[in-house]
A and B are shown apart, each in its own frame.
Chain A
């Protein structure tokens, strides 16, 4: 199927990988020496160590192509997908540290309990389309309207944005704030050309959009380069303001109500 034998030799070297080992609250870094080559990604090395040195090394992964969002971890302290982090982007003469996402409960080694995220999605009102546009039950939409939402729908649910968000990571507001991933999810629904539901009141109350103070850390770590802060969070904050805090709008509302009452 290939011509492996004809492959040119690559530059191989030995590098230390400092991996977090342990279960639940107990753990420590353990050093592994690995033979690595140019072009390898961190996940390759972790799986190589797993196969050759530590069969019980726990790590999540699936597609190995940056499309499923399973292999989220903190590489040299930065939230990353292990499958998309090339070794040649990291210092070659220092150990590479790999540890689990720190904003979620630890399970084992590089694996965390991300079930909280799945619970947050359940809280968001589901998609509610308008009546079909055509007699055959289909809709008509323009590409431009679709394109606007596609950015948010690229999300692979790696939860790196949740991991890095101060509100969750440092202030532990998991009960009051759904986090950047699910604000982006709300944005995708709110800006969906067919959707008719109003999620703005929930965004203000249960979803806690006000907790976000726009530090843009989520945007920086997004492997899909979604402009989470600028394109999802800020526009939704504006909608909340328009609906609940806009003084002019409030006056207009009050007067229009009065005039219809009289």
Chain B
């Protein structure tokens, strides 16, 4: 089989072309190295387009009390202090510069009256901090990066899926994949690889993620020897569409609540006032009037409880549903129309501030959000866990392999604040690109092992040789999604998690026997069969980590261990592939935080 593959050589190969991958590629190209960018879909279609609310950066344009220190403290509080504090620091310090850079590349954010970038309120952020473009900030960002990126001399390989990383004596030296159109195999030689593949949402039944998010980057890195971290922390976004069934899971931006949207149960009660966590009591409004004042920009008011962190809001919604106070289709009501009680021309205001939400509900659900409440419920949205990286360079535990964006772990700890993902992409995309280029320049010599490519090719073609009539690739995927949803979802317990682990093992056998029909040309059955191993790897990793974390923290909630245990706040769970091929889970101590950062956290408590 050797030599049958189309081979290209780059200095830096970036896998994934969402915000992080594009930013990394642009940065690497700016240093003069040859850059290749591979993406699973067409350019500009990655999940970054779905980000709605905004990009968090403490620019202080709306409230000059904001600065990087407050943003750092907010991020650490949201992450329940198991974040990589160095990443949280760099992120808070650099986000503003990265946002301004987007403007220099053509992005057009909404403006303040004096012509600067406007910033809005969001859950967990003390001050208005999210630069935004109505509710389509992600589209603005990816398009800006795309339109700038295509003029930087980057080689772009669209609709290519990577199935293996190539290594040489422990370092990374390229990747092996196939193009969707013809199913041809390609070897991408590269002295450094940046993983920017996004998330794992397709492991769950209800998700805001598209077919692409099968945890490829997590699994590829793990198979190449890299460590994964914090895999138990999955973010269930509290507000996804739930009706009609075909739109179930589609995101409803937190911006709705940032603009004054309120959550109500079927008795019309704002249930979020019922249970405000102690560490947020001092910063949360205790009456309806104060909450409204906050969203209209009153600096002396505290935020309404609808803007508490996503994990908490999601669990509160689940409680209402469980206790019989839910909406007709198993969620609760999100009401923005009510602001007409407070402002004239509310309908126009809503359409201007939340145009795509208006459009989405009108077209898909026949609901006019300027008149009626939306029915919403939690949806699988984001994974905080990912490839363990060095905070400054974004290099993984495998030399030459870098990671940025959702596929990297550390910045968000146990729970991500809204708006911190878009800033994550550009801050650490830039850093990963810079350091990958540096690594590539300093480590040019490597040898490609043809056997690695041959093995990957053989495994990829195996499903065509099978003749089983058992479950097909889509059925195995669906069974996995059901299991993860039922047993590793918002509310977990030891017995459910163990049963999920057993099911994952059974499904692994089924996946190994999946047969596909047709040829290699644009064949979604085959493509899905090849995504299964990644999905199974990430599902196992997050289930194992969830079993080990015998407490509740951030996105991880155990009904059998409902309290936070300080003993679990000093380390991260880290997963690697053992010599026997089995998953190894261990505890990695969080390094001592420097005194200046500790002081910032104290000041902002």
Known: A58-B523, A63-B210. A140 touches B114 (CB 8 A): yes
Cα A133 to Cα B330 with chains together (Å): 51
Secondary structure of the B contact surface, majority rule: loop
B108 touches A149 (CB 8 A): yes
Cα A55 to Cα B147 with chains together (Å): 35
In-complex Cβ contact of A150 among B47, B134, B243, B519 (8 A) = B134
Kindly supply a per-residue 1/0 record for chain B positions 344-369, scoring 1 wherever the CB is within 8 Å of any chain A CB and 0 otherwise: 00000000000110011001110000
Min CB distance B78 to A, Å, is 22
Which of B245-253, B285-293, B386-394, B451-459 lies on the face that meets chain A? B245-253
Kindly supply a per-residue 1/0 record for chain B positions 30-63, scoring 1 wherever the CB is within 8 Å of any chain A CB and 0 otherwise: 0000000000011111110110000000000000
Q: Within 8 Å CB of A68, what residues of B?
A: 44-45, 49-50, 210
Which of A39-47, A171-179, A232-240 lies on the face that meets chain B? A39-47
Q: Within 8 Å CB of A84, what residues of B?
A: 363-364
A137 sits at the interface (CB 8 A): yes
Residue among A6, A55, A121 facing the most chain B CB atoms (10 A cut-off): A55
Kindly supply a per-residue 1/0 record for chain A positions 66-88, scoring 1 wherever the CB is within 8 Å of any chain B CB and 0 otherwise: 11111000000000000010100
Q: Within 8 Å CB of B134, what residues of A?
A: 150
Q: Within 8 Å CB of B485, what residues of A?
A: 1
Closest to A36 in B: B246
In-complex Cβ contact of A1 among B50, B206, B365 (8 A) = B206
Known: A41-B246, A84-B364, A107-B181. A142 touches B111 (CB 8 A): yes
Q: Within 8 Å CB of B378, what residues of A?
A: 1
Cα A6 to Cα B321 with chains together (Å): 11
A2 touches B104 (CB 8 A): no
In-complex Cβ contact of A65 among B100, B251, B318 (8 A) = B251
Min CB distance B473 to A, Å, is 7
Q: Within 8 Å CB of A66, what residues of B?
A: 359-360, 363-364
Q: Within 8 Å CB of A139, what residues of B?
A: 103, 115
Q: Within 8 Å CB of B41, what residues of A?
A: 60, 62, 70
Cα A73 to Cα B519 with chains together (Å): 23
A63 touches B49 (CB 8 A): yes
Min CB distance A89 to B, Å, is 10
A55 touches B524 (CB 8 A): yes
Kindly supply a per-residue 1/0 record for chain B positions 61-105, scoring 1 wherever the CB is within 8 Å of any chain A CB and 0 otherwise: 000000000000000000000000000000000000000100111
Which of A151-159, A205-213, A250-258 lies on the face that meets chain B? A151-159
Closest to A1 in B: B489
In-complex Cβ contact of B518 among A41, A56, A122 (8 A) = A56
A61 touches B210 (CB 8 A): yes
Known: A1-B236, A2-B206, A66-B363. A146 touches B522 (CB 8 A): no
B473 touches A55 (CB 8 A): yes
A154 touches B330 (CB 8 A): no
In-complex Cβ contact of B524 among A59, A142, A194 (8 A) = A59
Known: A126-B151, A138-B116, A150-B133. A23 touches B521 (CB 8 A): yes
B254 sits at the interface (CB 8 A): no
Q: Within 8 Å CB of B472, what residues of A?
A: 51, 55
Closest to A115 in B: B158
B516 touches A55 (CB 8 A): yes
A153 touches B140 (CB 8 A): yes
Min CB distance B522 to A, Å, is 4
Cα A39 to Cα B364 with chains together (Å): 7
Cα A97 to Cα B210 with chains together (Å): 24
Kindly supply a per-residue 1/0 record for chain B positions 237-277, scoring 1 wherever the CB is within 8 Å of any chain A CB and 0 otherwise: 00000111111101100000000000000000000000000
A192 sits at the interface (CB 8 A): yes
Q: Within 8 Å CB of B151, what residues of A?
A: 122, 126
A248 sits at the interface (CB 8 A): no
Min CB distance A42 to B, Å, is 10
B50 touches A67 (CB 8 A): yes
A91 sits at the interface (CB 8 A): no
B108 touches A192 (CB 8 A): yes
Min CB distance A54 to B, Å, is 8
B218 sits at the interface (CB 8 A): no
Closest to B111 in A: A143
B43 touches A118 (CB 8 A): yes
Q: Which of B151-207 contact A (CB under 8 A)?
A: 151, 158, 181, 205-206
Cα A107 to Cα B42 with chains together (Å): 14
B148 sits at the interface (CB 8 A): yes
B326 sits at the interface (CB 8 A): yes
Q: Within 8 Å CB of B475, what residues of A?
A: 51
A135 sits at the interface (CB 8 A): no
B108 touches A146 (CB 8 A): yes
Known: A1-B485, A3-B330. A62 touches B105 (CB 8 A): no
B444 sits at the interface (CB 8 A): no
A4 touches B150 (CB 8 A): no
Residue among A8, A61, A122 facing the most chain B CB atoms (10 A cut-off): A61
Known: A1-B377, A154-B136, A157-B44. A64 touches B210 (CB 8 A): yes
Closest to A129 in B: B104
A114 sits at the interface (CB 8 A): yes
Q: Within 8 Å CB of A51, what residues of B?
A: 472, 474-475, 478
B360 touches A108 (CB 8 A): no
What are 21 of the A-B contact pairs (CB < 8 Å)? Answer: A4-B330, A41-B364, A56-B519, A56-B525, A58-B521, A61-B210, A62-B49, A66-B360, A66-B363, A67-B50, A108-B521, A118-B150, A121-B147, A126-B151, A127-B147, A138-B117, A139-B115, A153-B133, A153-B140, A153-B143, A154-B355
Extra pairs beyond A56-B525, A62-B211 (12, CB < 8 Å): A37-B245, A55-B472, A55-B516, A58-B521, A107-B521, A118-B150, A127-B147, A141-B108, A150-B108, A150-B133, A154-B139, A157-B44
| 4 closest residue pairs by CB, A with B | A39-B244, A55-B525, A56-B518, A140-B115
